[in-house]
């Protein structure tokens, strides 16, 4: 059996790693953007980001003061787990103290801070039942400089793929420099309103260099990235070639009367870390 303590310690370790160490694919993409940029202001901003990432690594401190809202993606296979919920919650609270993390979780009306990065409905836990004898835990700390710029459209079926492109570009233009570009853009199409946004967020777990296995979606990802980077918003919104590092699209079937479109924007600190446990 996977014990509650194992889950707690794993979540704490994952949270620490995710806020201090950026995934290698994202670091490489930022370095490539710097190498390909010819705008001096953009290069200055990218250099500052890269230096910040290296300083976080060298000093074992979070790369951003916003250590995010705790989101945990769970893949649950055929394993026995002792109190998964409490293990995750305890792990977040432990990380808050030991890393340490900035306490970000508040009551939405009173703004009273819980002090633990846990609260009513928090951490957000998404459980996917899978085949196999393992438990996969992914920490996805989501900063709200980018989260505040997410968007949902319940489009009409007739708007089609052109409607998707238009809405994604409108969302990026409205966000401008607020989400600390260069960003990663997740797009969820189909399902229901809530599921479209969940797909968009899950899309950001993919490697920067991954190609969608659906040729239609792979082509859409490339086209959207080209359109977004042609806006000239650039790093930190001050101009340049790279407004987004990548665009990832995920799709689910939907109701005959609708075309839900969710857009999830992630800042340059595209943090997530995964571990697999077996009983």
pLDDT tens profile 49-74: 999 999 999 999 999 999 999 999 99
Q: 207 in a domain, yes or no? A: yes
Whether 128 and 150 map to the same domain: the answer is no
How far is Cα 251 from Cα 28, in angstroms, rounded to an integer? 27
Residue 185 phi, psi dihedral angles, 5° rounding:
-115, 120
Domain that holds residue 86: 4-18+63-141
36-58: burial string, b at 16+ Cβ within 10 Å, e else: ebebeebbbbbeebbeebeebee
Q: What per-residue confidence (pLDDT) applies to 14?
A: 98
How far is Cα 237 from Cα 96, in angstroms, rounded to an integer? 31
Q: What per-residue confidence (pLDDT) applies to 75?
A: 98
Q: 179 in a domain, yes or no? A: yes
Q: Cβ(263)–Cβ(204) under 8 Å?
A: no
Mean pLDDT for the stretch of residues 150-154: 98
How many domains are there within the chain?
2
Q: What per-residue confidence (pLDDT) applies to 159?
A: 98
Whether 233 and 209 map to the same domain: the answer is yes
- Which residues, in sequence order, are CB contacts of 106 under 8 Å at separation 6+? 112, 113, 114, 119
Mean pLDDT for the stretch of residues 124-145: 97
Which of the 8 DSSP states describes residue 103?
Answer: -
- Which tokens go with 214? 């659906």
Q: What per-residue confidence (pLDDT) applies to 24?
A: 97
Whether 187 and 134 map to the same domain: the answer is no
How far is Cα 140 from Cα 55, in angstroms, rounded to an integer? 21
How far is Cα 64 from Cα 120, in angstroms, rounded to an integer? 25
Whether 149 and 262 map to the same domain: the answer is yes
Instruction: Tell which of 115, 141, 167 closes a domain.
Output: 141
Instruction: Tell which of 125, 141, 157 closes a domain.
Output: 141
Whether 96 and 206 map to the same domain: the answer is no
Whether 234 and 176 map to the same domain: the answer is yes
Instruction: Tell which of 141, 166, 191 closes a domain.
Output: 141
Mean pLDDT score of the chain, rounded to an integer?
Answer: 98
The sign one gets for the Cα dihedral 117, 119, 4, 129 is: negative
Mean pLDDT for the stretch of residues 238-261: 98
Distances 270 to 17, 105, 213, 217 between C-alpha atoms, Å: 13, 20, 22, 21
Q: How confident is the model at residue 215 (pLDDT cuts 50, 70, 90)?
A: very high
Whether 151 and 135 map to the same domain: the answer is no
């Amino acid at each position: 059996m996977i014990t509650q303590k194992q889950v707690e310690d794993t979540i704490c370790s994952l949270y620490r790693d995710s806020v201090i160490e950026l995934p290698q694919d994202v670091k490489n993409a930022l370095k490539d953007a710097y190498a390909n940029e010819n705008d001096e202001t953009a290069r200055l901003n990218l250099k500052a980001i890269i230096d910040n990432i290296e300083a976080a690594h060298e000093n074992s401190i979070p790369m951003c003061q916003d250590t995010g809202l705790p989101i945990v993606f769970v893949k649950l296979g055929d394993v026995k787990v002792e109190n998964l919920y409490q293990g995750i919650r305890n792990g977040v609270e432990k990380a808050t103290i030991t890393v340490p993390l900035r306490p970000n979780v508040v009551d939405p009306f009173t703004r009273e801070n819980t002090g633990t990065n846990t609260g009513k409905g928090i951490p957000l836990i998404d459980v996917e039942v899978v085949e196999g004898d393992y438990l996969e835990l992914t920490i996805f700390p989501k900063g709200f400089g980018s989260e505040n710029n997410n968007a949902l459209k319940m489009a009409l079926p007739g708007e089609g793929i052109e409607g998707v492109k238009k809405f994604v570009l409108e969302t990026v233009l409205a966000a401008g420099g607020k989400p600390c570009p260069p960003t990663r853009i997740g797009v969820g199409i189909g399902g229901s309103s809530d599921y479209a946004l969940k797909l968009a967020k899950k899309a950001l777990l993919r490697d920067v260099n991954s190609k969608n296995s659906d040729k239609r979606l792979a082509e859409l990802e490339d086209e959207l990235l080209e359109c977004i980077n042609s806006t000239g918003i650039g790093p930190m919104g001050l101009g340049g070639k790279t407004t987004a590092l990548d665009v990832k699209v995920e799709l689910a079937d939907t109701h005959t009367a609708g075309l839900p479109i969710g857009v999830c924007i992630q800042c340059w600190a595209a943090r997530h870390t995964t571990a697999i446990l077996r009983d």
